[in-house]
Each structure stands twice: as C-alpha cells, then as structure tokens.
Structure 1
Amino acid sequence: MELLIVVVALVGLMAVVRLFMPRIVPFFVFYPETLQPHETHPRYWGFPQATEVRIPTEDGIELHAWWFPADPPEGRGTAIYFHGNAGHLGDRGTVAAALSNLGLDVLLPDYRGYGASEGKPSEEGLYADARAAYRWLVDERGVDPERLLPLGNSLGSSVAAELAVSRPVAGVVLLGPFTDTAAIARHRLSWLPDWYLDWVHNRFDTLERALRLEVPTFVAAGEEDRVIPPGQSREVFEALQGPRRWLEIPGAGHNDIFSHEALWRELHRFTRDVLSSGLHDDSVSP
C-alpha cells in the first residue's frame, strides 16, 4: 500500500511538472548573463576597432550589439553572428574579430535578455531579434542581402537557419547545430519518458528549417562534442536542399570549435566562394 502511494505521488508530481513545462523549459534552454553599464563598450573587452549599436525590434525591445568592420576592408560581404544559449556578446568578441579578419563586416547582437539587451528570451523572441538585426543591416546600412551571411553556433544555428528561410541571404553557416531542443533533452535526460520531453515551446526545430533551406550552407561539428552529438549535426546537414558543405573536426568539442584551424580554413573558403557567387554544386569537405 505504501509503495502504491509513493507511485501515485510520483506520477502526480510528474503530471504537475508537465503542466508547468512551458514555464520550466526556458530555464533549461536559456542561460543569459547581463553586462554592467561600464562593460557594454567593446573597448572594455579589448576590441577598440568595434563600435556599439542599438537595434529596435518589431515588438519594442532594444537590442545591444557590436559592429566589427572588415579588416582588411575587402568589401567581401557581411556576417551576422548568432551566439549560443549562455553568456553574452563579450564572450564572443574574439570570434567576431576573427570573422572580420576574413574580410567580412560583422554584426554581433545579443539576444533579448542577454548582456545589455532588453526583454526576456524566448524562441519567437530570438527569431524577432534576428529579423531586427537583418532590417538594421539591410534598411539602415544598405547591405545587399545577396552579400549577407548569417552564422550561428549551437542555439544560434537554429536562429540563423530560421532567418535564412524567412529572408533573402547569400548563404548560411551552422556550427554545432542540433535537430531540436527536445532531442537534446532526450540525449541528456534519457531516463525520462518521451512524452515528458516532447517540448512544444522553445523547440528550435533546426531540422524542419533545414528541409526548407535552399541557399548554400556550411555545417560543421566537433567530433568530440559531448553537448550536441555530431550525429544530430549530420542529420541537419543531410536534410539540406541546396548546395552544402560538411566538416567534422577531429578532436574538437562543443565549446572549443573556434580554436581549430580546420574550421577557419573552411570558413574562409566557404565565405569566399558564396560571396563571390562561386558555390553552385554540392560539396562535402573531407
């Protein structure tokens, strides 16, 4: 009898938690950190070449972002770098600076609720943030969409993919993409039943968007990634409908993918080919 009571109590608890999943899931998905007023300028983080910008969204949120001019100023094109689910843009300035060294102007925005950006993060909110960054580049700075390249890492890969299927762009880069957040939850919490992990809110379904992506796409994953299984990244790659390139980096994990020369070599080749309209056929990297 006591065992039955315990089982019933556990089932009841799980049912209650399931009911509140829409409020609970964001705590598993988003890990924002804020910036203090004296920390918002890129000079504080050692990037004197970059400038601060403020970007309004369609729902009245103001985003904080950094702008890195290309170095050298080749005029090759423009990249928007969408970072992962933790921290703030101060943690990604080194990556943005390295991208600018490829001859790209780089916009590095913080999502709503991250860094010095207003608001609270959500899936639809992040997509709105991406559209706001796009509008700022195309409408305010006059960037040609055919020379615009969204680049997303981890959670940011889903944001980049959504932008690439909803707006004209030259191509897209997905680094360490996952199929959807529910699949990541199943990978890390495999002991829970599937119905418990079938998240409806904050799903970030990258796989579904890959099926609609027709622009040239470069997908890379770390062979030793323990956060997002490389098999999920490969599944996203296989679903792509347009010209595509794949790179699995030996020895690379999830958080150190940018420290590998192989990634930067392929990024340089891909951005050069796409932004010079040279990528037409499927191409798979060794």
Structure 2
Amino acid sequence: MELLVVVAAVVGLLAVVHLCLPRLAPFFVFYPEPLEPHETHPRYWGFVDASEVWIPTEDGPRLHAWWFPAGRDEPGRGAAIYFHGNAGHLGDRGTVAAALSNLNLDVLLPDYRGYGASEGKPSEEGLYADARAAYRWLVDEKGVGPGRLILFGNSLGSAVAAELAIGRPVAGVVLLGPFTDIPSIARHRLSWLPEWYLDWPRPRFDTVDRASRIAAPTLVGAGADDRVIPPGQSREVFEALGGPGRWLEIPGAGHNDIFSQQALWQTLHRFTREVLPDGPPANG
C-alpha cells in the first residue's frame, strides 16, 4: 500500500512538472548576468579600439552592444554580427569579437535583451527580434551592404543567426556548436525520461528546421569532444542546410574552448575570404 502511495505521488509530481514545463523551460535556457554601470564600456575590459552603442528594437527594449572596427589598417573587407551563447554577457565575449575583427571585419557584438546592460527580458521571439534590430542597425545606420555581412552564431546564438539568415540577404553564415532544438538537448541530458515528456512548444530554437531554409554559404563547426552539445546534433544541422555548406569537426575541442583552436581560425580565415572576395569596403 505504501509503495502504491509513493508511485502515485511520483507520477502526480511528474504530471505537474510536465504541465509546467513551458513556464519552467526558460529558466533552463537563459542564464543572463548583469553588467554594472562602470562595466558597460569596452575600455573597462581592455578593448580600447571598440565603442559602445545602443540599438532600438521593434518592440521597445534597447540593446547594449559593442562595435569593433576591423583590426587592420586597410578598409574592412566586410562586417559581422556575433551572436553569443545563453549565459553571461558581452564582456565574456569581447575577446572573440576582437579576434573576429582581426579577420579584417567590422564586428557588432550585441547583448540579448535582459543580458548585461540590455533592457527587457529574454525569450525566444525576443532574441529573434534582437537579431533583426542588430541587422537593421548595421544595414541602415552603418550603411553595411547585406552582401558584405556575415552572421556568426555560437551555441544558442547559432539558432538566432539561423533565424536571421532566413529571408535576409547575407554573404555567409557561421554556426558553431549548434543544436537541433532545445527539447533535443533536454532529452540528451535527461535520457531516462520518455522523449514525449520533454517536448514543449516554447522555447524551441529549432535550428535544424531553419538550416534547411538558409540559402547563403554556411560553415558549421563543432568540437569533437563537445559535452554540452553532441557533435552529432551539429552534424544534423549541417546536413539539413538548404544552401552550400562546409563542415568542420575539430579533434580534441570541447564546447567552451572552440575559439582557442587554431584549426577554427584557419578555416574562418579561408571562409571569410571566399564569401567576401576583394571588393569595396563594408559601407561601399
């Protein structure tokens, strides 16, 4: 009898949790950290050539972002937007943006709503709106030609970059450590639960579905030892691409150290030269 009571209690608890999953899921997806007022300028983090910008969104919140000019003397070959992962703030990603600028790219590094000093609260649709705002700012305010623009997305940012690439002209897309969708990640980490239990409508960040609708040349990369996003999921995103694609799997690399891999930067150097051939500068 006692065993039946325990089983009934566990089943009841699981049923309640399943009903609450759509409300609970965002707490497992978004891990924003704030920036103190004295921390918002890139100079605080040692990036003396970068500047601070604020970007309006279509639904109200202002995004805090940093702008890194191309790190060479000649005019920039093109421009890039770097969409970071699901935790922290842009202060944690300035080093990556500065390294991307050394590829002779002007780089926009925005913080999602609710992250760092950006206003608002994160959500799937909100992050997509943030991406559209960053794109508009580059094209309309900075005068960057869409044909000179590359979208970079890492981890959660890959889903954001993939969404933005649909129906908007860009020169190329780079997706690093992408996943197929959020429920699949949940099922990977909680494999002892039935698959249907961990399926929910929002947030999904369905990258594999969006990949099939990307027309621009796309580089998909993953660390062979990634323990956060299974490399097999990243490979699924690559195989789903609707346009020309390139696959890069880096032996010995994990999820968080992929940007320290020489093989990645060699490939990025080649890829940016292929999709941004010699021509006018970014705002030409």
TM over 0.5, shorter chain: yes
The question of 1:64 aligning with 2:64 is answered yes
66-75 vs 155-164, greater mean Cα deviation = 66-75
Q: Deviations over 1:10-51 (max 9, x none)?
A: 111111111211210011101110000000000000001000
**Aligned equivalent of 1:186:** 187
1:3 to partner: Cα distance: 1.4
**Aligned equivalent of 2:123:** 122
Question: Is the 8 Å Cα contact of residues 153 and 175 (structure 2) preserved in structure 1?
Answer: yes
Structure 1 segment 34-113 matched on structure 2, within 5 A: 34-72=34-72, 73-113=74-114
Large movers: runs of 4+ above 6 Å = none
160-169 vs 57-66, greater mean Cα deviation = 160-169
Measured in 2, the distance between the counterparts of 1:125 and 1:26 equals 12
Structure 1, unaligned stretches of length 5 or more? 279-286
Measured in 2, the distance between the counterparts of 1:34 and 1:276 equals 39
Q: TM-score, normalised by structure 2?
A: 0.96
1:192 to partner: Cα distance: 1.4
Q: What SS does structure 2 have at the residue aligned with 1:78?
A: strand
Structure 1 letter corresponding to 2:69: P
Measured in 1, the distance between the counterparts of 2:58 and 2:207 equals 23
**Aligned equivalent of 2:144:** 143
- Greater RCO, 1 or 2 (C-alpha within 8 Å, sep 6+): 2
Structure 2, unaligned stretches of length 5 or more? 280-284
**Aligned equivalent of 1:217:** 218
Q: What SS does structure 2 have at the residue aligned with 1:151?
A: strand
Structure 1 segment 148-187 matched on structure 2, within 5 A: 148-187=149-188
Structure 1 segment 224-235 matched on structure 2, within 5 A: 224-235=225-236
Measured in 1, the distance between the counterparts of 2:195 and 2:27 equals 19
Q: Deviations over 1:143-186 (max 9, x none)?
A: 10011111000000000000001321111000000000111111
Question: Is the 8 Å Cα contact of residues 77 and 278 (structure 2) preserved in structure 1?
Answer: no
Measured in 2, the distance between the counterparts of 1:31 and 1:246 equals 29
Percent identity over the alignment?
79
Measured in 2, the distance between the counterparts of 1:77 and 1:12 equals 56
* Count of residue pairs the alignment pairs up: 278
Structure 2 letter corresponding to 1:273: E
Measured in 2, the distance between the counterparts of 1:241 and 1:202 equals 23
**Aligned equivalent of 2:5:** 5
Structure 2 letter corresponding to 1:100: S
Measured in 1, the distance between the counterparts of 2:55 and 2:15 equals 41
Measured in 2, the distance between the counterparts of 1:166 and 1:12 equals 45
Q: What SS does structure 1 have at the residue aligned with 2:166?
A: helix
Structure 1 letter corresponding to 2:67: W
Q: Deviations over 1:119-150 (max 9, x none)?
A: 11111000000000001011111110011111
Measured in 2, the distance between the counterparts of 1:16 and 1:80 equals 41
Structure 1 letter corresponding to 2:143: G
Structure 2 letter corresponding to 1:188: R
Structure 1 segment 248-263 matched on structure 2, within 5 A: 248-263=249-264
Measured in 2, the distance between the counterparts of 1:254 and 1:119 equals 28
Structure 2 letter corresponding to 1:55: I
**Aligned equivalent of 1:15:** 15
| C-alpha RMSD of matched pairs (Å) | 1.2
189-198 vs 149-158, greater mean Cα deviation = 189-198
1:277 to partner: Cα distance: 8.5
Q: TM-score, normalised by structure 1?
A: 0.95
Q: Deviations over 1:219-270 (max 9, x none)?
A: 1100100000111111110111211111100110000000000000000100
Q: Deviations over 1:43-66 (max 9, x none)?
A: 000001000000010000000000
**Aligned equivalent of 2:282:** none
